[in-house]
Amino acid sequence: MTASTSGVITLHVNGEPHTLTVDHRTTLLDALRERLGLTGTKKGCDQGQCGACTVLLDGRRAVACLQLAVAAEDRAITTIEGVADGGRLHPVQQAFIELDGYQCGYCTPGQICSALGVLDEHAAGWPSAVTADVRPEAGPPALTDDEIRERMSGNLCRCGAYTAIVRAVAQAAKVVSA
Amino acid sequence: MREFRYRRAADVADALALLEAEPEARPLGGGTNLVDLMKTGIERPALLVDLRDLPLDRITPTADGGLRVGATVTNSDLAAHPQVRLHFPALAQAVLAGASGQLRNMATVGGNLLQRTRCGYFTGAAAPCNKRLPGSGCAALTGEHHNHAVLGASPHCVAVHPSDMAVALAAFDAVVTYETPGGPGELPLAEFYLPVGSTPQLETALPPGALITGVVLPPAPVAAVSRYRKVRERASYAFAIGSLAAALDVRDGIVREVRLAFGAVASRPWRARQAERALTGQHADAVAFAAAADAELAAARPLPHNGYKLPLLRDLVVGVLTELAEEAAR
Ligand SMILES: Cc1cc2nc3c(=O)[nH]c(=O)nc-3n(C[C@H](O)[C@H](O)[C@H](O)COP(=O)(O)OP(=O)(O)OC[C@H]3O[C@@H](n4cnc5c(N)ncnc54)[C@H](O)[C@@H]3O)c2cc1C
Ligand code: SF4
Ligand code: FES
Ligand code: FES
């Protein structure tokens, strides 16, 4: 039965189709890094616990280490390599650089992809666990530092650059909504 | 990881046929628990039946004013849904208190209900564990059990169910609907999770090969004033060490109706019916709230390292109900 435990799949990464044969056990994270050479997406824990492998799937943030590559077929995958607009950095990337939102940089691609998700989720009016009143009539919560901390809590930073990460996300939110 | 075949089911009938043809098949929701456990060999399916294309990703009103939530609705979409936030705020809060933004985008309602315990001896694969290897013993009894059960446990297993979402569903009398090759069925959440007894490896009353199709929330006006509060060892992104879903209806200072369910205290979300009975018809004050909590916790049997959960739960009941009583008075 070996043949049927692998298959040919097409992954749509940063707007480009890539056709490859994968063992079904391959995670999207390993496919991106080991097969497609897109090493910007990092492996921290490989257990969904650190957020280093965060990518966008159909525009929503997800951890690539718990996503099987075969199950990501037909989905639009955005990695850190696809975030900039040609030579122009995305406002989130720009803010991380300007405000030193990192030290070693290992968690940074995941932080930035996660922040992109946070900005979209907030713009869509989603509440979070620290939103005082989740009822629709309360209106969308302001993106306070507490809201940013809670929404970014799926991304750990071993260097402890959290203070600057919160600032960078707050600045990017202003730029994006301006 | 064991090698496995992969099929994406086209519809519910297709998924059921695939599951029936391969006894070692497992449905794949978001994969955030299943793939994790497959990596360590705790789960060893021969076939994954991906549910992503199934038309179970919608939240729709029911004729009687409740809500039907499809099994593949993501945790994020559930928590963001205006009707859920309006009529069942504690459910939205419970979902938002779980995992991370990334994981909630992936995780589904069906998978959340069926996620396995985080007991380290279950996930660790080396120690005796009756849930993983029936008859091997329970390493947690004499080992690390500070986050294990204080209610409803048995000497065979003291693990807790980790879901936040299920705690709110228990408070709101949700009903799990499923399909089997022999036809559909449903289970009230109160009967969905089996008592531990001597078979901790059997976790739910779902028939073999069943596919969860969704969860139905009956109309519950009391749920409009409701709250979920979760205590954990860090501010965010951690499993509960104790949690409470509560809803309260107070008129003229008297408790007309109350719903209480505890999380992280038992092998299943723990509906606190003793406490509800004790409180109904009483004055809505801290003394009555504490007495109600004590009525429920009289049955608790803490282990050497988790006795802290009893005052924690009592404080949760008093604190959250006090807030809800104020909210109801507004
Ligand atoms: C780092 C981390 C932190 C977490 N923190 C929390 C937390 O704080 N609170 C919390 O509640 N949860 C937490 N979780 C758990 C998370 O909520 C679950 O992993 C998730 O809800 C499972 O949903 P899924 O769709 O990914 O399930 P899957 O992993 O796809 O499936 C889980 C199980 O359900 C079965 N299944 C799935 N759908 C169906 C269906 N429709 N019918 C029949 N069977 C089905 C699968 O076969 C499998 O056995 C955390 C997870 C991680 C990795
Ligand atoms: S508590 Fe349950 S899951 Fe944990 S070791 Fe004991 S039997 Fe296994
Ligand atoms: S590598 Fe995926 S969450 Fe840590
Ligand atoms: S910058 Fe080093 S881990 Fe975050």
> How does pLDDT run across B295-313, given as a tens digit for each residue?
999 999 999 999 999 999 9
> How does pLDDT run across B169-182, given as a tens digit for each residue?
999 999 999 999 99
Place of tokens 């709250």: B227
| Chain B contact set for A70 (CB, 8 A) | 6
DSSP type of residue B98: S
Q: Is residue A107 in a domain?
A: yes
**Pair (A117, A97) in one structural domain:** yes
Q: Do B4 and A67 touch (CB under 8 A)?
A: no
Atom of ligand 1 nearest to the CA of B72: 41
* CA B186 distance to own-chain centroid: 16
Q: What share of chain B in percent tops pLDDT 70?
A: 100
Measure the CA–CA gap between A22 and B247, rounded to whole angstroms: 49
Q: Is residue A155 in a domain?
A: yes
Q: Is residue A114 in a domain?
A: yes
The pLDDT of residue B258 is above 90 = yes
**Pair (A102, A170) in one structural domain:** yes
- Return residues 229-268 of B near A (CB < 8 Å): 230, 235-237
The pLDDT of residue B206 is above 70 = yes
pLDDT for the residue B184: 98
Q: What share of chain A in percent tops pLDDT 70?
A: 98
Averaged pLDDT, B140-148: 97
Q: Is residue A116 in a domain?
A: yes
Asked which of A59, A82, A105 is the last residue of a domain, the reply is: A82
Structure-block tokens of residue B204: 């739910």
> How does pLDDT run across A76-96, given as a tens digit for each residue?
999 999 999 999 999 999 999
Q: Is residue A172 in a domain?
A: yes
CATH number assigned to the domain comprising residue A159: 1.10.150.120
The pLDDT of residue A111 is above 80 = yes
Asked which of A38, A61, A82 is the last residue of a domain, the reply is: A82
Which residue type is seen at B111?
G
Residue B260 CB burial class (10 angstroms; 0-12, 13-18, ≥19):
buried
Averaged pLDDT, A4-28: 97
Asked which of A65, A82, A99 is the last residue of a domain, the reply is: A82
**Pair (A47, A109) in one structural domain:** no
Instruction: Please choose from B145, B157, B239 the residue to mutate so as to test ligand 2's pocket, defined by most ligand atoms within 8 A of CB.
Output: B157
CB A6 within 8 A of CB A21: yes
3-state secondary structure of B313: helix
CATH class of B221-329: alpha beta
Start-end of CATH 3.30.43.10 domains in chain B:
1-55
**Pair (A68, A102) in one structural domain:** no
pLDDT for the residue B328: 87
**CA-based R_g, chain B, Å:** 20
**Pair (A16, A52) in one structural domain:** yes
DSSP type of residue B154: B
Averaged pLDDT, B275-287: 98
CB B236 within 8 A of CB B121: no
The pTM score is 0.98
Measure the CA–CA gap between A151 and A127, rounded to whole angstroms: 10
CATH number assigned to the domain comprising residue A78: 3.10.20.30
Q: How many helices (H) and strands (E) does chain B have?
A: 13, 12
> How does pLDDT run across A118-158, given as a tens digit for each residue?
999 999 999 999 999 999 999 999 999 999 999 999 999 99
Start-end of CATH 3.30.390.50 domains in chain B:
221-329
> How does pLDDT run across B63-113, given as a tens digit for each residue?
999 999 999 999 999 999 999 999 999 999 999 999 999 999 999 999 999
- What is A81-144 written as a DSSP string? GGTSBTTBPPHHHHHHHHTT--SS-SSHHHHHHHHHHHHHHHHTT---TT-S--SGGG-PPP--
Q: Any chain B CB within 8 A of the CB of A60?
A: yes
Q: Which residues pair with A54 in a beta bridge?
A: A63
**Pair (A50, A30) in one structural domain:** yes
Query: At residue B199, what are phi and psi to the nearest 5 degrees?
Result: -130, 65
**Pair (A110, A156) in one structural domain:** yes
Among B1, B48, B73, B102, the residue to mutate for chain A (most A Cβ within 10 A)? B102
- Point out the ligand nearest to the CA of residue B32: 1
Query: At residue B313, what are phi and psi to the nearest 5 degrees?
Result: -70, -40
**Pair (A40, A12) in one structural domain:** yes
CB B175 within 8 A of CB B188: yes
Band of pLDDT at residue B330, cut at 50, 70 and 90: confident
**Pair (A68, A139) in one structural domain:** no
Measure the CA–CA gap between B63 and A158, rounded to whole angstroms: 51
B176's enclosing H/E stretch is strand B175-180
Q: Is residue A1 in a domain?
A: no
The pLDDT of residue B269 is above 50 = yes
- Point out the ligand nearest to the CA of residue A107: 4
DSSP type of residue B129: B
CB B73 within 8 A of CB B223: no
**Pair (A105, A42) in one structural domain:** no
Chain A nearest C-alpha distance from B99 (Å):
8
pLDDT for the residue A1: 43
Taking the CB of residue A142, how many other CB atoms lie within 10 A of it? 9
pLDDT for the residue A3: 52
**Pair (A51, A103) in one structural domain:** no
pLDDT for the residue A126: 98
> What is the domain range of residue A170?
91-177
Band of pLDDT at residue A2, cut at 50, 70 and 90: very low
* CA B298 distance to own-chain centroid: 23
pLDDT for the residue B61: 97
pLDDT for the residue B119: 98
The pLDDT of residue A62 is above 70 = yes
Q: Which fold has domain B1-55?
A: 3.30.43
**Pair (A78, A95) in one structural domain:** no
Q: Any chain B CB within 8 A of the CB of A7?
A: yes
3-state secondary structure of B214: strand
Mean pLDDT rounded to a whole number for chain B: 97
Domain count along chain A: 2
Place of tokens 């390993």: A30
Would you put residue B324 in left (φ > 0), alpha (ψ -120 to 50) or beta? alpha
B131 lines ligand 2 (CB under 6 A): yes
Q: Any chain A CB within 8 A of the CB of B41?
A: no
